[in-house]
Structure 1
Amino acid sequence: MPESRFEALCHDDLNTVTGVWSDLERSGFVTPFQSLQWIEVLLRTLAGLPNTRFFVVEVRDRHSQSPLMLLPMCLVQHRGYRVVEFASFDVCDLSMPVLAGNDALVDPKDAEYLWQAVVSVLPPADLIEITQIPKQYRGRVNPLACVPGTVPASVSRYEASIEGDPAKIVEGLANSQTRRILKTSNRRLSERGTVRFAVAETREDLDQLFPVMLAQRQERFLELGRYDLLTRSDIQTFYDSAVRSSLSTDGLARMWALFVNDEPIATCLGLVHKQSFTLLIITMAGGSWASCSPGIALLSRIIQWSAEQGLTRIDFSVSDASYKTGLGGRPEAMLELKLPVTTVGRTVHAVGRSLDDLKARLKAHPVLFAFARKLVRSARRSGRRIGTLRLQYKGPTHVIWFNILMPFCL
């Protein structure tokens, strides 16, 4: 395959490629996180962050000028170094281009030439870092997974097929332990009142449920000593805008809730896209409700609802959790690509690798790992918003170092 086949262009304005993007969505392939609707909300609410520049790389066939793919990306200026990233802004769980309808870009022999074309139009940076790269998605090979230099990531994503009789789908997916939990949950919930599953369909529904989701999430993460991304007002605005924009278009982002009498005891925010349901946020009331397992009770009802709507797959998204495998989720390997470009970038990359190695060694010693995790979570509970390293933070040095070294405690 001649190197001259690929030609890349860099667009600083989304409007210049909106037409191409719409055409590729209609006739090609896109994940929900790179759908135009999701990206447009992202740009309205998050892309204005300081020191961040959003852009789109378009790859064409040099001879026919036909668009082959679009890669939403951003340049982030950190203190002392610059990084080119896939446009995630902490709300996109997958890094995969918007692709043309044919599957011609899967030959690993082409990947190096393709990547050279992309790199040739990237803005100057010290490091190129693309994480959460699925090897494939919905049967379509991810060209980024074929790029030389990709390595296995430390996280996996979980999927399950939900084809079959909706009334029996959960029972078929769940393992024996999860079936016992659901049986106990349903009994205990029924004892406390009238159980009702609801889909948010109006602005009034969202006005009620969105604050409940935030409150339940904050309470749970504070209890666990975990950093909660949803404490950020811009992230709250993003998700709120995403679900509200979907009301009028029967669009991407949806909310569901489980009520006992008139009290919402669990909420969920997820995506419905091309016969798939993607789980993003699930929250549940604590206290006396904890023994009723309201979170998994709600998720079981969403799975049944999804099957009733004709959806065929549930994507539990990234990170490990017992309920995902308990409901039939199977792990899918993820990759990442970290390429230093300058001496500064090589230094940043080397430090990052050293910290990853240190975290791996700590994990190999359960007693030390448990102690460090307990200390970090205790600090987060006492500081409430301590949990990630922020440049403006002026607190105790030991807390900063533990938060650098222990992000696996999130």
Structure 2
Amino acid sequence: MQTQKLDVHEQPSEDGALAQTAISRLRQLSMKLAMAEIDISVFDAMQPLEGDWRTLERDNLQSLHQGYDWCAAWVSAFQRPLAILKGTYAGETAFILPVEIVKSRGLGVAKFIAADHSNINTGLFSRNFAESGGSIDAEKFAGQLRHALRGRADLLLLQNIPLEWRGRQTPLTGLPMVQNQNHAYQLPFFPAFEETLKQLNAKNRRKKFRVQSKRLEAAGGFEYLVPQASEEQHRLLDIFFRLKSARFASLGLPDVFADGETQAFLHGLIDMRDDGRQYFGLQMHVLRLKGANEGRVAAISGISRKGDHIICQFGAIDEELVPDTSPGEFLYWQTISGLHGKGVALFDFGLGDQTYKRSWAPVETAHYDVVLPVSPFGVLAGTAHRIVTRGKAHIKARPKLYKFTQSIRARIG
């Protein structure tokens, strides 16, 4: 999934390969020399950058979480100070890093806009800058970023960045990093659903689907819906908030969707849609029951799309309804099968190690955090972030220890 193999008939000739290698080396050398000439500006508003921003985000490999509309919805809801970093070279925009300042224990932390609800972050880079990958002078780049943020933030913390995404290395490689404790899980799509299933244990999965179908029919039946009306989409999102709140309460965990700003942000995403470029900010999918439970929602999920990339943002189930059918997994079957033939290449289950994700996703992608101190206090905060992140990774890599810490967390509430 991360790299593509050329068919034998498509292999470049030896001369062509040498030419491509020479061009690549010249591009890398040019980028290293150009780093000294890149000018980094800081903006406290999004609007002056909209034209350049929308041009950069057209690249299919840039995360939808750094898209202009996505960030605008968050900024409108939270109203945090912005410190958006724009790099310019030879009169052209080389990159935009959409950053906001989050106050934490008296420190100013520069983070990606909406970082707390992002499943993958890439930043926005011009194609030439993006394809330079590890050729950038990382030490000089880090120094320029520090200089740009001085007096605005103590720490630059850019989280959940894959070092390589669908064959392209991030230009942020070489900056001070720590591996995030959470990985992401993806299911590559093939032209037909049956081909996609072959990556998994297709026989057992089909058998499980048949059993789930029979149990749901025995309980009165079901319907899988993706309502097109905006009003119904907003109503379903409110149902998700209710179901998820009950789930968090049962586990003794804080509800990360409870605050009004987060709910306003997610509602704002629902009305963002552009069929021409295969984009929608948030779309609700639902498994609704019939019979004695007519109209009740057994499972619900919200997905986003940019080009051929689908990201599952969240999901919830009503634990009181048809628990023996695993309605959440049944809903994923309906969603994934229904997206075939619609130009999708990758279904992304997002961050977090869950059993259902591993059962559906044959690809696991490690994410990394850029941890770049800007001030002396930022050095301490960066060290603390590294220690905490590595500690969480250590715990999550040991199922028994992780289960124990989860039980303690639930008791504390």
TM-score (normalised: structure 2)? 0.82
CA change 1:201–1:72 in 2 (3 A) is same
Whether 1:66 aligns to 2:99 is: no
Within 5 Å, give how 1:319-338 maps onto structure 2: 319-338=352-371
Q: Deviations over 1:46-82 (max 9, x none)?
A: 2x1xxx4113111111xx2111111001222333322
Deviation at 1:89, TM superposition (A): 4.4
* C-alpha deviation, 1:29, in angstroms: 4.8
Distance in 2 separating the partners of 1:68 and 1:225? 46
Pairwise CA distance, 1:238: 0.9
Q: Could you tell me which of 182, 185, 209 is aligned with 1:158? A: 185
Question: Aligned residue for 1:197?
Answer: 224
Match of 2:288 in 1: 259
Q: 2:160 aligns with which of 123, 128, 132?
A: 132
The share of aligned pairs that are identical, in percent, is 20
- Distance 1:302-1:104 versus aligned 2 partners, 3 A rule: same
**Residue pair 2:176, 2:370 contacting (<8 A) in 1 also:** yes
Amino acid at match of 2:265: F
Quickly say closer, same or farther: Cα 1:74–1:123, change in 2 above 3 A: farther
Matches within 5 A, 1:2-401: 2=33, 3-26=35-58, 29-46=61-78, 48=79, 52-61=80-89, 64-102=90-128, 103-124=130-151, 125-144=153-172, 146-166=173-193, 168-169=194-195, 171-175=197-201, 178-246=205-273, 251-261=280-290, 262-356=295-389, 370-380=403-413
CA shift digits 1:348-373 (9 cap, x unpaired): 33444454566567678877765543
1:115–1:236: structure 2 CA closer, same or farther, 3 Å change rule? same
Alpha-carbon spacing, 1:96–1:53, altered in 2? closer, same or farther (3 Å): same
Q: Secondary structure at the match of 1:121?
A: helix
8 Å CA contact 1:134–1:333 kept in 2: the answer is yes
Aligned partners of 1:333 and 1:181: how far apart in 2?
29
SS of equivalent to 1:287: coil
RMSD across aligned C-alpha pairs, in angstroms?
2.6
**C-alpha distance in structure 2 between counterparts of 1:94 and 1:116, whole Å:** 25
8 Å contact from structure 1 (residues 178, 327) kept in 2: no
Secondary structure of 1:332's aligned partner? strand
Q: 1:371 to 1:95 in 2, by over 3 A?
A: closer
Could you tell me which amino acid in structure 2 is paired with residue 255 of structure 1? M
**CA offsets per residue over residues 319-361 of structure 1, 9 Å max, x none?**
1111112113411111112233433233333444454566567
The residue that corresponds to 2:6 in the other structure is: none
* Residues 271 and 281, structure 2, Cα contact 8 Å, conserved in 1: no
Q: Given residue 273 of structure 2, which amino acid in structure 1 is its aligned partner?
A: S
Once the two structures are TM-superposed, the CA of residue 40 in structure 1 deviates from its matched residue by 1.4
User: What is the aligned residue count?
Assistant: 372
Change (3 A) 1:318 1:343: same
Q: What is the DSSP-based 3-state SS (H/G/I as helix, E as strand, rest coil) of the residue aligned with 2:198? A: helix
How far residue 135 of structure 1 moved from its aligned partner, in angstroms, is 1.2
Asked if 1 retains the 8 angstrom alpha-carbon contact of 2:243 and 2:318, the reply is yes
In the alignment, the residues of structure 2 paired with residue 153 and residue 282 of structure 1 have an alpha-carbon distance, to the nearest angstrom, of 22
CA distance in 2, matches of 1:350, 1:58: 27
Aligned partner letter, 1:98:
L
Cα 1:294–1:362 shift into 2, 3 Å = closer
**Which amino acid counterpart does residue 54 of structure 2 have in structure 1?**
S
Inter-CA distance 332–16: structure 2 relative to 1 (3 Å threshold): same
Q: Which secondary structure does the structure 2 equivalent of 1:226 belong to?
A: coil
Distance in 2 (CA, whole Å) between partners of 1:157 and 1:210 is 23
Q: Distance in 1 between matches of 2:94 and 2:40?
A: 10
Give the 3 Å change call, closer, same or farther, for CA 283–360 of structure 1 in structure 2: closer
Over 3 Å counting, the alpha-carbon distance change for 1:114 and 1:105 in structure 2 is farther
- Show structure 2 runs of 5+ residues with no match: 1-31
TM-score computed with the length of structure 1 as normaliser: 0.82
Tell me: CA distance 1:234–1:147, structure 2 relative to 1, closer, same or farther (3 Å): same
In the alignment, the residues of structure 1 paired with residue 272 and residue 288 of structure 2 have an alpha-carbon distance, to the nearest angstrom, of 24
Instruction: Check 1:365–1:36 CA distance in 2 against 1; reply closer, same or farther (3 A cut).
Output: closer
Contact 1:169–1:307 (8 Å) recurs in 2? no
- Structure-2 separation of matches of 1:36 and 1:182: 39
Does the C-alpha gap of structure 1 residues 208 and 85 become closer, same or farther in structure 2, counting only changes over 3 Å? closer
Letter in 2 for 1:45: A
Q: 1:22-60: per-residue Cα shift (whole Å, max 9, x none)? A: 2222367521111112111111112x1xxx411311111
Residues 337-346 or 71-80, more deviating = 337-346
What letter corresponds to residue 77 of structure 2 in structure 1? Answer: T
The residue number in structure 2 matching 1:404 is: none
Residue 251 of structure 1 aligns to a residue whose secondary structure is: strand
